[in-house]
């Protein structure tokens, strides 16, 4: 049975826009996954990590998949490695970051994977592109929609602007 899943993408090293496009294309090539929607690209101020790093380019991609959540997580990890991701510093600069945001109304807590993503509801750089592709999705633990999550963000949070 196929499920609707969301993947957050971010990059701030190299050519971030090209890297995000390559990540989408690699998702399209994977058996068991079907890309159904791609948000605009958002340029966002880094949250956490070193203060002197470049701003991030972010997108959210919706996929339908019959793979298990762990299999999808492994696909995302494999794509990160293919694109040169090296995990050095938490919230630091990176060539690519792929976050498994949600899978329908699934709630899953494993050592390597938590669904829905535990920070999804407080990250403007995720919620702004997410509302473009899944405005009606309701958080299974919080019981609120993407627009309600956006409304609850502090007004003085990190800046984010649509670039394409």
Mean pLDDT value across residues 50-66: 91
Residue 12 belongs to a domain with what CATH number?
3.30.70.560
CA pair distance 127, 119, nearest whole angstrom:
10
Structural domain tally of the chain? 1
Q: How confident is the model at residue 104 (pLDDT cuts 50, 70, 90)?
A: very high
Residues designated catalytic: 85, 94, 97, 99
State which residues form the domain around 107: 3-162
Q: Does pLDDT of 119 surpass 90?
A: yes
Which tokens sit at 8? Answer: 């957050």
What value does the mean pLDDT of the chain take? Answer: 92
Q: Is the pLDDT of residue 89 over 80?
A: no
pLDDT at 88: 65
Parallel, antiparallel or unpaired: strands 33-38 and 108-109: unpaired
pLDDT band at residue 110 under the 50/70/90 scheme: very high
Residues contacting 90, CB < 8 A, separation 6+: 48, 49
Instruction: Summarize the confidence of residues 125-133 as an average pLDDT.
Output: 96
Is the predicted pLDDT of residue 109 greater than 80, yes or no?
yes
Give the closest residue to 46 by CA, choosing from 58, 38, 33, 55: 55
Would you say 98 and 84 are in contact if contact means Cβ atoms under 8 Å apart?
A: no
Confidence of residue 132 (pLDDT cuts 50, 70, 90): very high
pTM of the complete model: 0.93
**What confidence score (pLDDT) does residue 159 get?**
83
Residue 91 confidence (pLDDT): 59
**Residue 90 pLDDT greater than 70, yes or no:** no
Q: Record the tokens describing residue 1, joined without a space.
A: 């049975």
């Amino acid at each position: 049975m196929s499920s609707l899943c969301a993947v957050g993408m971010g990059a701030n090293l190299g050519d971030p826009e090209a890297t995000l496009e390559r990540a989408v294309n690699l998702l399209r090539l994977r058996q068991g996954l079907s890309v159904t929607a791609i948000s605009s690209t958002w340029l966002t101020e880094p949250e956490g990590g070193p203060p002197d790093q470049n701003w991030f380019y972010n997108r959210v991609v919706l996929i339908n998949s019959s793979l298990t959540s762990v299999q999808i997580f492994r696909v995302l990890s494999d794509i990160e490695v293919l694109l040169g991701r090296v995990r050095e510093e938490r919230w630091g600069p990176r060539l690519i970051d792929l976050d498994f945001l949600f899978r329908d109304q699934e709630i899953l807590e494993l050592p390597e994977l938590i669904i829905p993503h535990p920070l999804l509801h407080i990250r403007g750089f995720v919620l702004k592109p997410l509302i473009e592709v899944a405005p009606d999705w309701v958080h299974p633990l919080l019981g609120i929609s993407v627009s309600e999550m956006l409304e609850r963000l502090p007004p003085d949070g990190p800046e984010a602007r649509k670039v394409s």
